[in-house]
């Protein structure tokens, strides 16, 4: 038992430890002779003891086994250690415990959550790149087409109407040639701001070309 990288305990009906392996001693930072005949409750946090009394021990009486129970083990100087335990109830109230520190599992869970959050963020960024004009922040031609298809489906069911307005900035090339492309970009950005602040909440404005915009009015 001392060669297993997991803790093994035998606890009697009075909840006193009658056997423990080296892993348990190291986890508790106590010698075996001090742990033997001590009450297992002193090695668990107050919350874990309440959990054991209110749920785990009744569960053992009814089903004889409790699996993957996460409790807080208390080591020397009050160090709190998250552990996962499997407990089986045997004859005469004797219970057999196997447990291990779950720091690596919690670390893996945390890393998986971070990876998932990163994937979600990247997915949102990719969606934004695919649907948004980077200069003006308006939706692009592809997203406009998708929105128009949805609107056509809705109006066909509701027997309502919508309108598409195409806007082309006259003599825009002259602005770029005279004042430079940065000035032309500022014109487009200002136009986009005017459109977005002037439209109703359910209307859409898209930049579909260099100086071409389309308004979807519902």
Residues annotated as catalytic (active site), given as ranges:
211
Tokens of 78: 């009050």
Q: How far apart are CA 206 and CA 101, in angstroms?
A: 56
Beta bridge partners of 85: 69, 99
Q: How far apart are CA 117 and CA 75, in angstroms?
A: 34
Q: Please state, in angstroms and as integers, the Cα–Cα distance from residue 58 to each residue in 36, 47, 51, 70, 191, following that order.
A: 24, 16, 10, 16, 70
Q: Are 135 and 207 in contact (CB under 8 A)?
A: yes
Phi, psi angle pair for 161, to nearest 5°: -130, 165
């Amino acid at each position: 038992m001392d060669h297993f990288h997991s803790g093994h305990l035998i606890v009697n009906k009075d909840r006193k430890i009658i056997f423990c392996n080296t892993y348990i001693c190291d986890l508790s930072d106590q010698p075996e002779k001090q742990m033997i005949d001590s009450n297992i409750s002193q090695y668990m946090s107050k919350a874990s003891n309440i959990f054991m009394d209110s749920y785990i021990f009744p569960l053992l009486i009814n089903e004889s086994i409790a699996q993957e129970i996460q409790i807080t083990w208390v080591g020397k100087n009050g160090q709190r250690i998250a552990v996962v335990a499997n407990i089986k109830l045997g004859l005469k109230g004797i219970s057999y415990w196997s447990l291990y520190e779950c720091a690596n599992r919690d670390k893996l869970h945390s890393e998986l959550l971070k990876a998932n959050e990163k994937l979600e963020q990247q997915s949102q960024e990719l969606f934004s790149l695919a649907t948004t004009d980077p200069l003006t922040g308006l939706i692009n031609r592809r997203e406009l087409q998708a929105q128009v298809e949805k609107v056509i489906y809705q109006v066909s069911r509701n027997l309502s109407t919508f309108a598409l307005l195409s806007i082309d900035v006259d003599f825009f090339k002259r602005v770029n040639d005279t004042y430079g492309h940065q000035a032309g970009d500022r014109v487009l950005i200002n136009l986009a701001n005017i459109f977005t602040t002037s439209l109703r909440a359910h209307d859409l404005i898209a930049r579909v070309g260099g100086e071409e915009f389309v308004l979807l009015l519902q």
